[in-house]
């Protein structure tokens, strides 16, 4: 089942719609793709897991737009912490923070077995690679997710941001990537 409406996603993204500007639809679609792919990897559809994944997905790249930087991990974590504290889910902060911090990690994350950190990392890699990396998720499911939630220019925008940042910061071309 592909999720097409998650209230947490709608509300949280709505709060940042003006900052996302013309990238709103592209980013919203990326968020929903990551949520759906993460759920497929995690193998469940528990409501608490869904909420955690939704929060991490909304905020994981948001610092790009709110802080106008490609070095966006810390600003994205700060936004997620603020949101979780306001929603009385401060106890989720360590896991959500780890999901955001490790989402561009090249090597596997090593949290406990029930953590969503590694499934989230894999889901984002699947999306960013447009399905070239699958981590065992069936290509047919990935294609279905992209059909329901098309790129809408998201991948092109990432390329633009990468080139722009790299030209201005040649010594730190991809500050969000971790080993």
- The reply to whether 147 falls in a domain is yes
148: CATH: 1.10.3210
Query: Whole-structure pTM over 0.85, yes or no?
Result: yes
Question: Is-contact 59 165, C-beta < 8 A?
Answer: no
Q: What is the reported pLDDT for 113?
A: 65
- What was the pLDDT predicted at 171? 81
Element (H, E) at 139: helix 139-148
The verdict on residue 42 lying in a domain is: yes
For residue 34, tell me if it sits in a domain.
Answer: yes
164 part of a folded domain: yes
Residue span of the structural domain in which 47 resides? 7-168
Given this model, what pLDDT does residue 137 score?
97
Count of domains observed in the chain? 1
Tally of CB atoms within 10 A around 174: 13
Q: What is the pLDDT along the chain (179 residues), one digit of tens a residue?
A: 899 999 999 999 999 999 999 999 999 999 999 999 999 999 877 899 999 999 999 999 999 999 999 889 999 999 999 999 999 999 999 999 999 999 988 888 876 666 899 999 999 999 999 999 999 999 999 999 999 999 999 999 988 988 988 898 888 877 677 77
Residue 68 lies in a domain: yes
Residue 56 falls inside a structural domain: yes
Tens of pLDDT, residues 79-99: 999 999 999 999 999 999 999
Residue 69 forms part of a structural domain:
yes
Could you tell me if residue 81 is inside a domain?
yes
CA gap 85, 77 in Å, rounded: 12
């Amino acid at each position: 089942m592909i999720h097409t409406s998650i209230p947490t996603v709608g509300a949280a993204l709505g709060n940042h719609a003006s900052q996302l500007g013309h990238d709103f639809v592209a980013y919203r679609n990326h968020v929903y793709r990551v949520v759906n792919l993460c759920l497929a990897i995690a193998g469940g559809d528990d409501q608490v897991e869904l909420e955690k994944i939704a929060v991490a997905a909304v905020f994981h790249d948001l610092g790009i737009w709110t802080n106008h930087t490609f070095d966006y991990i810390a600003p994205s974590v700060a936004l997620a912490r603020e949101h979780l504290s306001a929603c009385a889910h401060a106890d989720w902060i360590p896991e959500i923070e780890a999901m955001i911090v490790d989402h561009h990690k090249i090597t596997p994350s090593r949290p406990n077995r029930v953590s969503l950190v590694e499934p989230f990392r894999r889901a984002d890699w699947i999306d960013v690679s447009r399905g070239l990396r699958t981590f065992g998720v069936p290509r047919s499911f990935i294609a279905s997710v992209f059909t329901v939630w098309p790129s809408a220019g998201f991948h092109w925008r990432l390329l633009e941001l990468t080139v722009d940042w790299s030209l201005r910061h040649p010594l730190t071309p991809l500050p969000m990537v971790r080993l």
